[in-house]
Each structure stands twice: as structure tokens, then as C-alpha cells.
A and B are shown apart, each in its own frame.
Chain A
Amino acid sequence: MARIANPAGLGAHRQRLLAEREAGGKKTVAVCCGTGCNANGAEKVVAAFREELGKQGLADSYEIKPTGCHGFCERGTLVLLHPEKRLYQRVKPEAVAEIVEKTLQGGEALEQHFYDNPATGEKHEFEHDIPFYKHQERLILGQNGEIDPTDIDDYIAGGGYGALAKAFEMGPEKVLGEVKAANLRGRGGGGFPAGRKWETCRDVPSEKRYVICNADEGDPGAFMDRSILEGNPHVVIEGMIIGAYTIGSDEGYVYVRNEYPLAVRRLSIALEQARERGFLGEDILGSGFSFDIRVNRGGGAFVCGESTALMASIEGKVGEPRAKHIHTVVAGLHGRPTNLNNVETWANVPLIVERGADWYTSKGTKGSPGTKIFSLVGKVNNTGLVEAEMGMTLRQIIFDIGGGIPGGREFKAVQTGGPSGGCLPASKLDLAVDFDTLWEEGSMMGSGGMIVMDDRTCMVDVAKYFLGFLKFESCGKCTTCREGLRRLHELVQDITEGRGTEDTIGLIEELAETVDAASLCALGTTATNPIKSTLAHFRDEYLAHIRDRRCPGGVCKALIRYEITEACTGCLVCAKRCPEKCITGEKKQLHTIDQSRCIKCGICMDVCKFDSVRVV
């Protein structure tokens, strides 16, 4: 791979790539190979396409491109036919031969692969007609369906590294001005203006400065950073180089979760190719500026998403946060000024440089410009990654894009912001989603996790879940966080197991206040948001557990029982599968569960084909 020496060389290389493609005349079939689609067999689909194209003599007419995540994980494996952007969903390897023969060869659209809208029964043939995509503004994610993340030339052909060349032309001062004017706010959760961070870091006198990309995406239920790194690693690298140039740093780190093996692999390939092309290393594009990036894998500690803990971890120490009387932009990694932004924030930088702050601020809201990527998951029809303009309402995101709740069940709550966020009830569905609004409502944007819950979700159990998570992840430095969360978890557990009294709630509220006030880092100070927000909005459910010893969501084991209803056909399946052998009944007769021996594993409900097992 030849080094590109200067901006003119970059332009020429890009023209050459485009001309080659034009001459080749190949159409592209993009197969989503994100973690979700891979789990659904995407790699086999790619192999099947390659084999079939060879067999049917079409290898010169089509290019099979394994790409990053297209976002619509629910319907994987996704196959996108360019240039018309016809989307075939739930494609299995067995179906590939027919697709090649009928669609690629014969031009026939295969209806069985269209998206069928469960709400309306309508079928959609093209990506842009599907409600899931139609209401999105995919500034960052859009490229994921276009490029091969393991080929830097694919990124360059689409205009990649053009923003870097432009940044060198503008000079650091102007770039900083643009990022500040764009009011780019940190997408990792804090929402702090990136431009101000960059400026402070640049202005601290030091011989050495660091930039870091925080890819320690620890919030359970959030996976946008993983998908960006897997699908378009170069946009993050380009953003980091621009940031480093602006700040005056020659060394960068990406701290990425070890639980994301594919992201680590694709990022490492991308860095290697960026070095070969001369975007990393000495004298980048003839600018005289030198910079390189290293990858550090995390150790599976949630608290390492906190900046000081993350930096301690890079230094080879235990990831405990420290007090930030002096901020990391002043004294961070190895005591030097360090600018840390998360993956999605860095991915926004090339866009801002390329298209300008005026364009960027025309998207989103005044206080929160641009877009935000959400992972829309849980009890929602169209689960996946969603990129929406800031200011969209929760209702638009969950119902217009997400297609509502499966099985016609009722929406109960949406949890935003991960373990530091809160649960918002149906009455808050018309809230506009941006950094400030959610904060005012006792939740937060966080990294963009959006977990939808229906009437079969127990809100007390959800609070218990997050407390359990946080007590485990607390680093143990502050007593209030270490001991307080443990006690809070016990108190909530008392309620879910039928031992709670109304005094328990008072005790929880009192203790939560102490944990908030006396913990050092954001893990502790926001840890009580899930419990405070569920108490605020779903107090009835707590009371049902306490007064009636009843779990309305049908989740808390100690308070529920399984029953077989009249709909039972006596098929014997549940009786056979019951691990305790406590279901009795003759063939074709109504079965019954021996409640004294039932361990409430729920298998009978899972295996019943007639919906005749219910939780009460």
C-alpha cells in the first residue's frame, strides 16, 4: 500500500479509485457483518454469495461487500443491493442461490425478503421506505452500509480523510473555532462541549499532550460505539487525528472493551492501513504534523469508562477514579494534559470540519446540535441502532422508528442512560430527547441506551438489577458507594422477596441521598437514579410488592406462581420438560402444577404452544 504524501496526492488517489470503479462497472451487494448479523450467520451468507456468483458466472458484475452494522439487527442478516438500495432482510445462506438467480440475474424482486411491517401488514422493498430507516437522520451510521471497514481505500473513495486535509489547510485555530461553534457535546453521556475541552487542553503549557478515544462502552444495553468501530473505524481515527492536530498532541490511545473482539480486530486493521497510507506516523500529508494511535484493551470494569480510572488503567494500574480537583485536560495520562472523547464524539469531528458549524447546528436543537445514536432495545418491535436528530420525542423514536411494543402489549417505561439513568413512564413519552431535557427529568442521555419495557417488566426488579450491577462494579474506594449500594440492593431485594415494609421505602430514599452526596465519581453520584426514578414514577408497583405481596409484572419469583389455564390441550410437553417433574395430568386432560414443588423456572410457559400457562 503506497503512502500518500500530500493533499493533492489524496485527491489524485481518490479520483483513481473512483475511475477504477467506474471502469469495473460492478454493482455492490452489501452484507451486514456486524456482531448481530454475524450471530445470525452473515459470514455464511457472504460465502454463499461469493460461491453462487462464481457458479452463475456473475463474479465480474457484482462485488460482495461485507460491511459494518446497518442498525436493523432485529431483521438480520441484512443484504442491501446498491445502487437502488433494495433491502432484503432475514436472509439465510440457503436463500442466496435464488437471490442471485432471480434478482441479480433476472431483475426480479423477491417479495419474501421484503420488510413486512407488523403494525400495518405493509411490505417495503427499499431501505428508505421502511419506517425504521425513514425517520432517521443517519449522518454517522449511514456510511456503515456503504463501506468495507477492512479496506481504507473504500473509505477514501467516499471522501474519507478529506476532512483531515481540509483541517491542515484551515490550521488548528480555525478548526477549534469550528468545533466550538458547532457546539459538539460529548456523546459518552456527560454532554460537555468538546471544543471547550480541546481548548483547555491545548492552552495548558506542556511538552507532551495525549488524546484518548473512550471505547469502553460499559453501559449495558448500548452498542453504538461498538458498531461504529466495527463498521467505520476510519471515521474515528480521522476525528482523532484532527483533534490531536488541533490540540498539539503526538500520541493517542483507543481504550476499547475486551468484550468487543470484532471491534478490536477491525480497529487494528484500520490503524495498520492508516499507517501504510501515511495518515498516521511522521509528517502526515506533508503537514509536518506527526501522530500515532495505540490500542488498549479494557479489563471488563465498568468504572473504567470514567476518565481518571481509564487513564489509570492505561498506565497499568487498577482502574480507580481519583478526585478531579485538577481535571484530566490539565493533568491526565502520565500527569500530562489529556483530551478524552468517546467514539461517537470523535466520529462527528470529520463531519463538522468538512461541512462546517453552520450546517451542523442546523441539525438537532439549539442546546444539543447534531444527531445522537440510540440503541433501541428491550420490548420493542424494531430493535437495533437508531440515529435521530436531537429533539425528537421518545414517542417518535419508540413508536415511529421502533414500531411500538411487540405482541400488542402495553408500553410501561423506557430506561435511558444506562445504570446512571432513569426510567421514564408513558406520561413522559412526548419529551424531546436532548442532553438537558432528560437530565431535568431525573434520567440522562448517557451513551444512548434506550431500553423499552412493557407491562411484563417489573420496575422494582429493574431497580434491583441496576443496583446489583453497580454494587458489583463499584471500585470500592468510597464507602458510601461500596457499602451504600450493597445495602440499597439488600433493601430492594427485601421488597422483591416479600419482606419489605413501607418503612423500607423511607430507608431507601434516605440512604440514596447519602450515596449521591458523598461519592466521588459519577458511578456513585448517579447510581441511585434508577431507584429514585422508579420510586418517583412507579411507586404503586413498590406498594403492590409490599402491601399485597404481589408482583404486577409477574417477574419476582417469591411473589408469583405459574398456573395452567383451561386452554391446556393435555399435550404432555410441559410435564415432560418440567425439571422438578411437578406437573401432572393425563394425555388430553387439563394439567396442574404442584405449587409446593414448583421452582418457578418458567420452562412450562416457554414450551407451551397453546399459551395456556400464565403467571399470577
Chain B
Amino acid sequence: MMDLSKVDSIIDGYGTDAAALLAILQDVQAEANHLPREAMDRIAARLGVPLSRIYSMATFFETFHLEPRGRHICTVCMGTACHVRGAKRLVEQLERDLEISSGQTTADMQFTIEEVNCVGACALGPLVIVDGEYHGNMTSDRLSKVVKAVRKEGGGE
């Protein structure tokens, strides 16, 4: 369960203004890693907008996630420059290594595979971002090693 007092303080920071809905949802997600139902209920009540509007925002914008995500996020850039340099094959490699489909989270909640339209680092394509760190000129082989290293580091916890 998310601490709702945190949601309240985020809302207060924007002056309970419904125009700031996108920003409020972004901040809540940054806090909780996804948008928990109870947080959306709270925002709806505090801003006086229907829950359906919150839900429509949360599902329209690609940035939001309604399900909890893994501890480690592997984001594959699918921009055009990365695409022509073989980004799809990197997604497939992650899917094989982690035994989940793109967009899913492993059962142990360790890894989530995500795709992003373009992060604007096209010269380094194909590119994978693992926990915020950019790995450029990626190959499927090297990607497997990166995932293995991350798994090993987090293994003891």
C-alpha cells in the first residue's frame, strides 16, 4: 500500500489544481514506481475530478504504469536509428534471457522490459538503458552479460 500522506503532499505542492493532473501523476509514479489504485482514488477525491478522468490520463500517456514494476528496468530504445541498427533483436534477447514478454515483469519482481520510442541518443544506437544507465552500440551478446551482471549484483538481497 502506498503512503497516502505522500500523495497528499504532492497534490498540495501543486495547489490542488486539476490542470496539474499530469504532473501530479508523474510525481506519484516517481514515488511508487507505478500508479496504485488507492493513490488514484485519493487524487480524484482531492481534485474533485471523476476517477474515470484519472484513469483515462493514466492509460493514454505511455509514461504511466498501473501494475507494479520490477526493481531493475531494462528499456530498449525503439527509435528509427536504433531500429535500423537492430533494436528489435535486443528486445528478443531480453525476452529470451528473462523469459517474459516485453512490457512484463519477472515473477520475482526483479526485471521489467520496456520499450521507448526514442531517447534522442541516436548516435549510440542500438541503445538499452538499464536502471538509468545508457549502454550504447549494444549487441545481443553484450546485453546478456549486462543483465547477468545486474542479476548477480542484486542476487544477495
Contacts and interface: CB of A to CB of B under 8 A. Distances in A.
A74 interface: yes
Given A301-B60, A379-B84, A451-B84, A73 B78 contact: no
A82 B78 CA distance: 37
A35 B119 contact: yes
B139 A606 contact: yes
Interface in A375-389: 375, 377-379, 383-384
Nearest to B120: A223
A73 B121 contact: yes
B140 A601 contact: yes
A601 B92 contact: yes
A606 B23 contact: no
Contacts of B21: 316-317
Contacts of A462: 80, 83-84
Contact of A383 (B64, B78, B122): B122
Interface residues of B, number: 46
Interface string B1-28: 0000000000000000111111101100
Contacts of B57: 299, 316-318
Interface string A226-247: 1100000000000000000000
A519 interface: no
B15 to A, nearest CB: 12
A36 interface: yes
Contacts of B26: 258, 297, 299
B60 A377 contact: no
A453 B85 CA distance: 10
Given A220-B79, A378-B80, A35 B120 contact: yes
Given A316-B21, A603-B141, A299 B121 contact: no
Interface string B118-144: 111111110100000011100111000
Contacts of B122: 73, 221, 223, 375, 377-378, 383
Nearest to A469: B117
Given A377-B123, A579-B96, A296 B84 contact: no
Interface string B79-114: 111011110010011001000000000000000000
Contact of B19 (A38, A315, A375, A473): A315
A70 B18 CA distance: 40
A226 B120 contact: yes
Interface string A34-49: 0110111000000000
A538 interface: no
B134 A39 contact: yes
Given A297-B23, A299-B22, A316-B22, A220 B117 contact: yes
Given A378-B81, A451-B81, A74 B140 contact: no
B63 A258 contact: yes
Nearest to B86: A602
A313 interface: yes
Nearest to B77: A220
A522 interface: no
Contact of B83 (A40, A226, A465): A465
Given A39-B124, A377-B122, A299 B83 contact: no
Contacts of B134: 35, 38-39
Interface in B48-89: 53, 56-57, 60-64, 78-81, 83-86, 89
28 contacts: A39-B124, A39-B127, A39-B134, A73-B124, A217-B120, A220-B79, A220-B118, A221-B79, A259-B117, A296-B23, A299-B22, A300-B117, A314-B19, A316-B19, A316-B20, A317-B53, A318-B60, A319-B61, A378-B85, A449-B80, A451-B81, A451-B84, A462-B83, A465-B80, A602-B89, A603-B93, A603-B140, A603-B141
Interface of B: 17-23, 25-26, 53, 56-57, 60-64, 78-81, 83-86, 89, 92-93, 96, 116-125, 127, 134-136, 139-141
Given A39-B136, A73-B123, A258-B63, 9 more contacts: A35-B120, A38-B134, A39-B124, A223-B120, A260-B120, A300-B117, A301-B61, A378-B85, A473-B117
